[in-house]
């Protein structure tokens, strides 16, 4: 640890220089309405202090997984002292919800923002987790309601679905019924059932 004293001292300097960041954005979702701090503001403010103290943060390892519209990213970073070459590994995770292909990018942005906020213990006065969870739960509930409605319609149209009680029987019914395979939303419904039967 002694050979990293300068690195840790510089991290402490950043903490002293960036003491507080006020929220600069307004998030609205249904009945939810709260203030938040943008990744742009966090990165721009901390970046100035990192440059001033000759510190860099680089991503060195990452993995991600997708569950429906929710993408989770786990990233390992290194914070390094440009003058000594000493580095320390720091990690962060983030989630992003998107129906298209932007889930990973959103998760990476979230991950990096909170890496900076937590590494340098920067208070913002926000507690996004409770609100974000509520937003995600509402979307999930709406999707489940939609799938249950679709399920009722499908069971009336295709009595063979009454044979489905696990992933194995779902696959069997799917393979034996070409009409089901032609149903536009059935692939989405199958994904819903697979999660249900896990």
* Domain architecture of the chain: domains with CATH: 2-123 (3.30.390), 135-196 (no CATH)
Taking the complete model, does pTM exceed 0.75, yes or no?
Answer: no
pLDDT category of residue 62 using cuts at 50, 70 and 90: very high
Beta bridge partners of 62: 75
Residue 32 has pLDDT above 70, yes or no: no
Identify the pLDDT of residue 77.
Answer: 96
77-136, pLDDT tens digit by residue? 999 999 999 999 999 999 888 777 788 888 899 899 999 999 999 988 755 555 555 565
Identify the pLDDT of residue 160.
Answer: 81
Q: For residues 152 and 95, what is the distance between their CA atoms, to the nearest angstrom?
A: 32
Q: Are 57 and 46 in contact (CB under 8 A)?
A: no
Which whole number is the average pLDDT over 9-21? Answer: 93
Identify the pLDDT of residue 167.
Answer: 78
* Better-scored residue on pLDDT, 165 or 31: 165
Q: For residues 88 and 105, what is the distance between their CA atoms, to the nearest angstrom?
A: 25
* Better-scored residue on pLDDT, 195 or 89: 89
Let me know if 100 is exposed, middle or buried by CB neighbors in 10 A (0-12, 13-18, 19+). exposed
Q: For residues 88 and 12, what is the distance between their CA atoms, to the nearest angstrom?
A: 14
Q: For residues 196 and 120, what is the distance between their CA atoms, to the nearest angstrom?
A: 41
Average pLDDT of the chain to the nearest whole number: 82
Q: Which residues fall within 8 angstroms of residue 93, CB to CB, at 6 or more apart? A: 72, 73, 74, 75, 111
DSSP state of 187: H
């Amino acid at each position: 640890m002694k050979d990293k004293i300068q690195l840790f001292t510089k991290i402490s300097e950043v903490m002293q220089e960036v003491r507080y960041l006020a929220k600069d954005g307004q998030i609205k979702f249904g009945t939810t309405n709260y203030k938040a701090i943008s990744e742009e503001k966090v990165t721009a403010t901390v970046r100035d202090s990192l440059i001033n103290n000759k510190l860099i943060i680089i991503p060195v390892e990452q993995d991600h997984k997708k569950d429906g519209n929710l993408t989770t990213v786990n990233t390992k970073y290194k914070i390094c002292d440009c003058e000594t070459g000493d580095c320390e590994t720091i990690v962060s995770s983030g989630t992003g919800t998107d129906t298209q292909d932007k889930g990973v990018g959103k998760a990476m942005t979230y991950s990096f923002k909170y890496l900076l906020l937590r590494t340098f213990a920067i208070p913002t006065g926000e507690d996004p987790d409770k609100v974000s969870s509520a937003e995600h739960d509402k979307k999930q509930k709406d999707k489940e309601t939609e799938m249950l409605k679709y399920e009722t319609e499908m069971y009336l149209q295709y009595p063979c679905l009454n044979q489905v009680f696990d992933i194995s029987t779902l696959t069997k019914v799917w393979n034996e019924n070409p009409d089901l395979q032609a149903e536009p939303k059935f692939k989405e419904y199958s994904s819903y059932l697979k999660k249900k039967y896990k």
